Amino acid sequence: MKKTHTSYQGFRTSIQLLWLTAFIVLLVQGQPQLWLAGFIVTGAAASFLFGRVFCGWICPMGTLLRFQTWIFRTLKIPRRKLQKSAAGDWMRWIMLLVFLGILVFSRQRGMQIPLLPGMTAFAVLVSCFFHESFWHRKLCPFGALLSVSSRRAWKNIHIHKEGCMRCGKCQRVCPSESIDTDSDKLRYNTNKECLVCRSCIGACPTGTIAYGTEAGSDSGNST
Ligand code: SF4
Ligand code: SF4
């Protein structure tokens, strides 16, 4: 199971690197608007069906933050982990307004403002000091939109309570702190913050986490 999970994450890494390359090529060619159009098609539309796959598989910021987390973990560099309630969700909506404001302003003035590279650099900078979940949950303007559209996605990550032994391993690997604990110390996924990275599926020792529709989730062991 571990070996299959490792290959699956290797597949995910390849997909992320491909999209990161496409992102860089579009920026170099001065066509960031194509990337934004891609976000609407692949990100926003797919999130209604498959959750925030854009965040976990396509977004260049998600890819860079994943790599950054790997470096910080390997070098054992500590970062602050905020309490989930410490900062409000409103921050990412403000970020979205600022993002759209700058976009409209630059269009009207015919200016070339490097908005996407600037935001990517800001995400990496913030994540030098805070666990990457801070960006995913509180600051990312794209995440703000997808947290609404993915809330009732057709497919998502499900944790079956019968198999949970309350070890918390799934929570420790989750990049967006999407997994919460209920009053019986059983874990459940909040869905709207889940990046569909599937790291929790590989971490769970009982194979009780699966991706799919609630009624017929794919087996966790098959990933
Ligand atoms: S670890 Fe699991 S719950 Fe957390 S973002 Fe990845 S798939 Fe979602
Ligand atoms: S890793 Fe699996 S068994 Fe452990 S708390 Fe999470 S769902 Fe429960």
Residues 75 and 171 grouped into a single domain: no
Which residue has the CA at smallest separation from atom 6 of ligand 2? 170
Residue ending a domain, among 149, 180, 202, is 149
CA of 157 from ligand 2 middle (Å) equals 13
Structural domain boundaries, residue 38: 2-149
Query: Which residues have CB under 6 Å of ligand 2?
Result: 159, 164-170, 187, 203-204, 206, 208-209
Angle between helix 60-74 and helix 115-126 axes, rounded to 10 deg: 20
* Whether the Cβ atoms of residue 195 and residue 178 lie closer than 8 Å to each other: yes
Residues 130 and 161 grouped into a single domain: no
Tell me what pLDDT residue 1 has: 57
Q: How far apart are CA 94 and CA 165, in angstroms?
A: 39
Residues 90 and 110 grouped into a single domain: yes
**Closest ligand 1 atom to 179 CA:** 3
- Name the residue with higher pLDDT: 68 or 41: 68
Residue 221: pLDDT above 50?
A: no
Residues 72 and 126 grouped into a single domain: yes
Residues 41 and 14 grouped into a single domain: yes
Residues 9 and 86 grouped into a single domain: yes
Q: How far apart are CA 55 and CA 215, in angstroms?
A: 24
Tell me what pLDDT residue 86 has: 54
Residue 198: pLDDT above 60?
A: yes
Tell me what pLDDT residue 223 has: 36
Residue 129: pLDDT above 60?
A: yes
- Residues 6 or more apart whose CB falls under 8 angstroms from that of 173 comprise 199, 200, 202, 203
Tell me what pLDDT residue 84 has: 66
**Tally of domains within the chain:** 2
Which residue has the CA at smallest separation from atom 2 of ligand 2? 204
- Which ligand sits closest to the CA of 173? 1
Residue ending a domain, among 100, 121, 149, is 149
Residues 204 and 121 grouped into a single domain: no
CA of 104 from ligand 1 middle (Å) equals 34
pLDDT, average across residues 145-169: 93
Mutate to test the pocket of ligand 1, among 150, 197, 204, 223 (most ligand atoms within 8 A of CB): 197
Tell me what pLDDT residue 202 has: 94
Residues 175 and 137 grouped into a single domain: no
Residues 164 and 112 grouped into a single domain: no
Residues 184 and 101 grouped into a single domain: no
Query: Which residues have CB under 6 Å of ligand 1?
Result: 157, 173-176, 178-179, 189, 194-200
Instruction: Classify residue 91 by its DSSP letter.
Output: H
CA of 85 from ligand 1 middle (Å) equals 19
Q: What is the pTM of this model?
A: 0.89
In the chain the beta strands, taken as DSSP E runs, fall at: 156-159, 179-181, 187-189, 209-212
Question: Of the candidates 199, 150, 193, 136, which has an alpha carbon nearest to the alpha carbon of residue 49?
Answer: 150
Please provide the average confidence, as pLDDT, over all residues in the chain: 89
CA of 119 from ligand 1 middle (Å) equals 23
Residue ending a domain, among 119, 149, 179, is 149
Residues 131 and 185 grouped into a single domain: no
CA of 165 from ligand 2 middle (Å) equals 6
Which residue has the CA at smallest separation from atom 1 of ligand 2? 204
Residues 170 and 133 grouped into a single domain: no
CATH number reported for the structural domain that contains residue 189 in this entry: 3.30.70.20
Q: Beta-carbon neighbour count of residue 115 at 10 Å?
A: 15
